[in-house]
Amino acid sequence: MLDMKFIRENFEHAESSLATRNSEISLAGFIELDEKRRSLLVETEALKAMKNNVSEEIAKVKDKSTVKDRIAEMKEVSARIKALDDELKLVEEELAKLLMTVPNFPHPTTPIGKSEDDNVQIRTWGNPLEFDFTPKSHWDLGEELGILDFERAAKITGARFCLYKGAGARLERALISFMLDLHTTEHGYIEVLTPFMVNRTSMTATGQLPKFEEDLFRLMDPDYLLIPTAEVPVTNIHRDEILKNSELPISYAAYTPCFRREAGSYGKDTRGLIRQHQFNKVELVKFVNPAESEAELEKLTGHAEKVLQLLQLPYRVMALCSGDIGFSACKTYDLEVWLPAQSTYREISSCSSFGDFQARRAGIRFREEEKSKPEFVHTLNGSGLAVGRTLVAIMENYQQADGSITIPSVLRSYMGGMERITRC
RNA sequence: GGAGGGGUUGCCGAGUGGUUUAAGGCACCGGUCUUGAAAACCGGCGACGGGCAACCGUCCGUGAGUUCGAAUCUCACCCCCUCCGCCA
């Protein structure tokens, strides 16, 4: 959520900043609603002050019959207050509805652009491998090795699910442990294990609702939603809290499965693990002092990169342009890993700063000094990494001519010493 | 799912219609005193919204309602605790 005061005082700047985003956003109607809200507020508060005073006077009078006319008068005032409050509530609801669907301002350092074609490459790491044979796709490798079974997953549930078996299942688990161990022991993150389903308030606080309900899986009886990313439960850990400046930055690492409807992506990435309704992810989340958020985004991105470096997977870092960043983000770096079978880089991590956008929605604040006014923290998060896509990258980059897969050395201790996956 | 108990301004906790502008204590901050500290005493001590400000308004789990007036009465819902049932 954006700051109402800021919009009020910088209306043109706000509109032009939002215009650099891809979607069509209009703040039209905002000023009018805002003014109406304030004039209603002034009126109703004056009446309430009067009512409070008169009620106090009535309280002091022993013989109520002498103040009959005052009581009658207050009855009318109360009715008037109620009418005004109802009107105010409507205006505030409309204002909130408008505000909740407006995306964040792009950060000044976010490149301006319309689509992903305008994203800017920041750096690359490693070089795409040269194969002296034609590299196979991970789905072919997975089926031949008997470690990925898409057909049976479709029988069990439906399209866009996968059944991992044997060394495949273990490799996924090894990656989760490896990533969590790295971030908690080397990068200073606190491990958390969260609920995988959340309520609507949590989903609204991070920005998935109200606009993106069609992307989410919903439960019927309690009105809960399956998380599309650990960002939701982890950011909500501190919802409606006032943190101490001395405890910032707070850094959490969380493994969770993620559930996404992938509505509107029919026909895209239909084969393989790239786009699934359920996938595993290790997520990094930070709550920081606003002064530190730019530096913290660089650090967090570096922590995600470290995973790829240790796995010896070539990748590049892209700065997303204003037209391509997510709803709540003001700045985003995507890490894209090299996939030889597709001869292309594919997103494996997205590291974003949200400024105070989520903190304002979620009511996450801190005090600069012990006695100073609470201010909103800045929130950041990034995948460290998407586990399924990491498994894909390992399978495709580490494949051998005979169809076996070498296990990266840093993972072998997590695989019981296994060095290579062969057909079982 | 059933029965019971409970949710009060950082914490504890009083308060069952009108000096509650929410007692009291703890914690915290400032002052007096002291060589310094502690103790004692005095004062301060929340969030949000509106306003240049004085100040005003809102907030006692949430939402409706009764009333001139609600922390207090009514209804619904949420959460926590205990016991029973079921269960990984």
Model pLDDT for residues A156-184, shown as the tens digit of each residue: 999 999 999 999 999 999 999 999 999 99
Buried b (16+ CB within 10 A) or exposed e, A201-226: ebbbbbbbbeeeeeebeeeeeeebbb
3-class SS at A257?
A: strand
| A373 is near strand B: CB distance < 7 Å | yes
CA angle in degrees (0–180, nearest 5) for A249-A252-A253:
145
pLDDT value, residue A108: 96
Cβ atoms within 10 Å of A193's Cβ, excluding its own: 11
pLDDT at A9 (0 to 100)? 86
Cα A119-A126-A142 angle, rounded to 5 deg:
90
Does residue A48 reach within 7 angstroms of strand B, measured from its CB?
A: yes
User: Does any strand B atom come closer than 7 Å to the Cβ of A52?
Assistant: yes
Q: Which of residues 182-221 of A touch strand B (CB under 7 A)?
A: none
CA of A206 to C1' of B15 (A): 39
Candidates A377, A73, A32, A400; CA nearest to A235 is A377
Using the structure, give the distance in angstroms from the CA atom of A236 to the C1' atom of B80, rounded to a whole number: 19
Question: CA nearest A128: which of A320, A312, A324?
Answer: A312
Q: What is the rounded CA–CA span in Å between residue A303 and residue A177?
A: 15
Complex ipTM: 0.80
CA A169, C1' B83: Å apart? 43
Beta-bridge partner residues of A349: A335
Which strands, in side-by-side order, build the sheet including A241-244?
Answer: A241-244, A364-367, A374-376
Helices H, strands E: what count in chain A?
Answer: 12, 17
Cβ A363 to strand B below 7 Å: no
Helix spans in A157-220 (H): 166-185, 200-206
pLDDT of A96 reads 86
Chain B bases having any atom below 7 Å from a protein CB: 18-19, 21, 28-29, 47-51, 56-58, 64, 67-69, 79
Segments in chain A below pLDDT 70: 424
A271: CB within 7 A of chain B nucleic strand: no
What is the reported pLDDT for A28?
A: 79
Q: Cα separation of A382 and A239, whole Å?
A: 19
The whole-number pLDDT of residue A184 equals 97
Q: Please say whether the beta carbons of A396 and A273 come within 8 A.
A: no
